[in-house]
């Protein structure tokens, strides 16, 4: 077991990962293959990292192929839906076909196959329209800053519909800037100090969403590390499923380390007592 992986509460769950050859998918599959029986979906023509083949079953399918997705969801407990057009500059046609129609196909296939849960990779872009100094909580209205964010808002709404009307558990994770800790050490990357989520922290959050048996029907959790400044509040994930992020951008970045922000700056929730 790698040191990044907390112990799983269930070693036998069968998990379908879409977008398995992407940055998040390949990290998750390579680090959690010992926890789950993985079926890793890769789109036709996409290169597959050599070490991914050792992590489980690799299957080829396109999000447009609803019939293929239904077959892939057979005997699956949880679908981790990561496949998407990831560009914030994507045009309407691109997000419509992949992020909106494709996500509908995945959730409907999971429902028809009797899957227990879909863990959906939403994005911080679903709320990027808020002013930069505003910390977003899970119960704030969506506020996308681009069409990519619009597609994520749609899929969150679709997930709630599937949960409340079709009895499919859906957890949406609004993922921030997914990067290695080494990237956080780059002085030029200080711009992501309030959106950083390390690889191991997001991996842990995905695992906790898969393993959770508390009866969650629908939830939105924020996927950021334990940064001193967080664009999105992570309290719900901490309290509801025990998310325990290990990394803090302000402690890794050399431009911020000397400021001792963790000790000197109070958290948002800290309140001085009235005199």
Q: What is the pLDDT of residues 41-59, one digit of tens each?
A: 999 988 888 899 999 999 9
Q: What is the pLDDT of residue 8?
A: 43
Q: What is the pLDDT of residue 11?
A: 55
Residue 100 tokens read as 């909106």
| Rounded-to-integer distance, Cα 224 and Cα 197, Å | 4
Phi, psi values for residue 197, rounded to 5°: -135, 125
Which residue ranges form the domains of the chain, and what is each CATH number?
14-264 (3.40.50.720)
- Which listed residue (27, 32, 36, 148) is catalytic? 148
Whether 243 is catalytic: no
Asked if residue 82 has pLDDT above 60, the reply is yes
Average pLDDT (221-243) is: 97
Residue 74 tokens read as 């057979």
Asked if residue 20 has pLDDT above 90, the reply is yes
Q: What is the pLDDT of residue 2?
A: 37
Average pLDDT, the chain: 91
Nearest to 233 by CA among 136, 143, 153, 141: 136
Beta bridge partners of 222: 174
What is the DSSP secondary-structure string of 166-223? H--EEEEEEE-EEE-HHHHT-GGGGGGTTTEEEHHHHHHHHHHHHH--S---EEEEEE
Kindly give the interhelix angle for 199-211 and 23-32, rounded to the nearest 10 degrees: 70
Asked if residue 272 has pLDDT above 90, the reply is no
Q: What is the pLDDT of residue 254?
A: 85
Q: What is the pLDDT of residues 134-185, one digit of tens each?
A: 999 999 999 999 999 999 999 999 999 999 999 999 999 999 999 999 999 9
Q: What is the pLDDT of residue 256?
A: 80
Average pLDDT (67-81) is: 98
Asked if residue 234 has pLDDT above 90, the reply is yes
SS3 content of the chain, % helix, strand, coil (to 5): 40, 15, 40
| Rounded-to-integer distance, Cα 18 and Cα 15, Å | 10
Q: What is the pLDDT of residue 241?
A: 98
């Amino acid at each position: 077991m790698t040191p990044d992986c907390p112990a799983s509460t269930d070693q036998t769950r069968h998990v379908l990962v879409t977008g398995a050859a992407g940055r998040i998918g390949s990290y998750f599959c390579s680090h959690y293959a010992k926890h789950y029986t993985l079926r890793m979906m890769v789109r036709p023509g996409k290169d597959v990292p050599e070490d991914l083949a050792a992590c489980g079953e690799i299957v080829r399918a396109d999000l447009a192929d609803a019939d293929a997705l239904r077959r892939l969801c057979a005997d699956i407990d949880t679908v981790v839906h990561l496949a998407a057009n990831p560009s914030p500059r994507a045009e309407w046609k691109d997000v419509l076909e992949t992020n909106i129609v494709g996500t509908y196909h995945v959730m409907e296939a999971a429902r028809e196959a009797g899957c227990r849960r879909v863990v959906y990779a939403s994005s911080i872009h679903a709320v990027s329209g808020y002013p930069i100094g505003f910390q977003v909580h899970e119960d704030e209205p969506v506020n996308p800053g681009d069409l990519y964010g619009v597609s994520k808002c749609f899929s969150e709404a679709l997930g709630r519909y599937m949960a409340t009307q079709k009895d499919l558990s859906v957890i949406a994770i609004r993922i921030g800037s997914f990067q290695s800790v080494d990237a956080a050490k780059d002085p030029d990357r200080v711009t992501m100090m309030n959106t950083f989520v390390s690889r191991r922290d997001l991996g842990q959050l995905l695992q906790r969403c898969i393993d959770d048996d508390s009866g969650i029907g629908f939830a939105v959790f924020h996927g950021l590390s334990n940064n001193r400044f967080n664009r999105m509040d992570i309290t719900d994930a901490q309290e509801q499923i025990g998310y325990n992020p290990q990394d803090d951008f302000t402690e890794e970045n050399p431009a911020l380390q000397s400021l001792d922000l963790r000790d000197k700056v109070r958290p948002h929730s800290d309140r001085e007592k009235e005199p």
